[in-house]
Structure 1
């Protein structure tokens, strides 16, 4: 699948990013007079799980404190002065971000290093998918205007579209964000139109960890990718006990964290129709590029992920047991 539209859009965004002007102050400085770019969108106010944050002027020193916020900021033509490391994956070598900065200073991994964030002297902290508690958000907000976690309103994380829209607003790049969304949406639409059998087909997207399975729900960005392709979530998601391994037996099964060879020795798993009839897609062990792209769930990684997974998903969803499902990851 070609992505010339997106490549052109990202090139334009990179050029546009070089024109960002004027750092913004902290929340305590919200009433101070600030230099505004002529005709620019600032000040802007964005909403998140912990309230509202006003960005007074175009940020110049952005820290990405969310697990995947880095990709969103890069895609909009800005390079953070510091970022949260992506755990369990060599994210600096991720193939979907070639051409972007890779040596960005890190401010924590699973846990944030608040002292390092303060030392980076941010004028904006993007933490839209950071899974912080109120206390963590308050600590960040005391350092600089902070965009806190976004939710779907039902206890799950917000979609990539919501992240892109919110970060675009905070950076004063609403139009660029909209154009980028339309480009990625077009890639999803192409995948759906070329594979109409995806629509309405149940898919259990299951992580395999420590000998157990866990089915991802619609509130998890990793599961949402497959549902955006047209698949639907099973009625029951969450942890799968050995007694209820039949919950994996859906129209299609996607396995995260294990290879086909690793699971072949499990008689309960091997006995599922979805496995024996070759309707299962294995994304391999955690830490590979496909798993990383799924975890980032960003405007940069999603098109890469579509290219990497759709051929296997199509083979696993054609209801022809003689079709070999290609290896992914």
Structure 2
């Protein structure tokens, strides 16, 4: 099911990247001195030693590029983010500064293309690589692969990714400051909207066959909302029309559809959470807000807070007369 949920409808990719509730300081590393090498970073395959300051970084994770950009560097190669015009994502334009980054594969990473770029560091902290793929890439350059999640779920938090990437790049201080800044964005949003606290919200992917999938508490896309104070429903997973009642929570966040998409679904429209206008539609897969949720990076998360907060606030004020605005793009 995890692999299936990585691939969205219409062959678009939605990342199960990272949330914001983890308080860990990140993976094991060296002595922590800024820019001091060698450093050691631990991923799920073991510990990799990076001997010198990397100059040519290739990102083979689905969202690692954003982390490198946020720390002030532009990778020399990157993995394609499928199903979304990621080159024009609004949250990274300043960091990209108009530069095009060569691609080294999409669903599958092309090791030959990686090697041709002459990297001295390969980052894939959320890459979902098979062990043989990891081994192949690690023979090209020091490779930081998929990380173990500190909370026991299947994917690391964005803080864990940021700590690992910051250490590998020799940018620990910058990574720690960036973490503090993004976490402050979440605290500010929570402080401005105390009504979020404890409200049960189903974060539901709208699938190709018309069913929904309510995201589990440990799914990083769900963590975005739980870190704003929302609670996860007791029952999650696939929801067909016969169990649409599971969507009928205090709030509903639909990912992969618009209000217009579901306007003719009479059963869906009959739900109280829909008819009372307590539903937020993030938009179709391949559009900006769902992609920002999927990237779950220090660049995309603040962007999504700004885009989604007005809609979430209106949907949670318990006033049926309030019209919930569309999520901003």
- TM-score between the two structures when normalised by the length of structure 2: 0.86
Contact 1:252–1:280 (Cα < 8 Å) also in 2 = yes
1 CA distance for matches of 2:238 and 2:253? 15
Aligned to 2:95, the other structure's residue is in SS state coil
Cα deviation digits, residues 245-280 of structure 1 (max 9, x gap):
211111110001111111121122111111111110
Q: Once structures 1 and 2 are overlaid, which stretch shifts more, 182-191 or 229-238?
A: 229-238
The reply to whether residue 267 of structure 1 matches residue 266 of structure 2 is: yes
Q: Once structures 1 and 2 are overlaid, which stretch shifts more, 232-241 or 83-92?
A: 232-241
User: CA shift at 1:219, angstroms?
Assistant: 2.7
Match of residue 118, structure 2, among 116, 121, 126 = 121
User: CA shift at 1:40, angstroms?
Assistant: 3.8
Structure 1 gaps, min length 5: 1-37
Aligned to 2:105: 108
Aligned to 2:78: 83
Q: Once structures 1 and 2 are overlaid, which stretch shifts more, 86-95 or 99-108?
A: 99-108
Match of residue 62, structure 2, among 60, 67, 70 = 67
Contact 2:53–2:169 (Cα < 8 Å) also in 1 = yes
2 CA distance for matches of 1:253 and 1:51? 40
Cα deviation digits, residues 131-184 of structure 1 (max 9, x gap):
112222112212111111123253421111111111111111111001011111
Aligned to 2:303: 304
Aligned to 1:207, the other structure's residue is in SS state strand
Aligned to 1:34: none
The reply to whether residue 315 of structure 1 matches residue 310 of structure 2 is: no
Aligned to 1:242: 241
| Pair 71,39 (structure 1): closer, same or farther in 2 beyond 3 Å | closer
User: CA shift at 1:50, angstroms?
Assistant: 1.3
User: CA shift at 1:77, angstroms?
Assistant: 1.0
| Pair 312,127 (structure 1): closer, same or farther in 2 beyond 3 Å | same
User: CA shift at 1:39, angstroms?
Assistant: 7.9
Match of residue 195, structure 1, among 185, 193, 210 = 193
Match of residue 87, structure 2, among 92, 98, 108 = 92
Contact 2:72–2:95 (Cα < 8 Å) also in 1 = no
| Pair 312,39 (structure 1): closer, same or farther in 2 beyond 3 Å | closer
1 CA distance for matches of 2:106 and 2:165? 21
1 CA distance for matches of 2:302 and 2:274? 27
Q: Once structures 1 and 2 are overlaid, which stretch shifts more, 77-86 or 218-227?
A: 218-227
Structure 2 gaps, min length 5: 1-32
- Ranked by relative contact order (alpha carbons within 8 Å, sequence separation 6 or more), the top structure is 2
Q: Once structures 1 and 2 are overlaid, which stretch shifts more, 65-74 or 156-165?
A: 156-165
| Pair 151,322 (structure 1): closer, same or farther in 2 beyond 3 Å | farther
Aligned to 2:256: 257
1:269-284 equivalences in 2 (<5 Å): 269-284=268-283
Please provide the CA RMSD for this pair: 1.4
Aligned to 1:182: 180
- TM-score between the two structures when normalised by the length of structure 1: 0.86
The reply to whether residue 132 of structure 1 matches residue 132 of structure 2 is: no
Aligned to 1:169: 167
Contact 2:206–2:255 (Cα < 8 Å) also in 1 = yes
Aligned to 2:36: 41
2 CA distance for matches of 1:225 and 1:151? 19
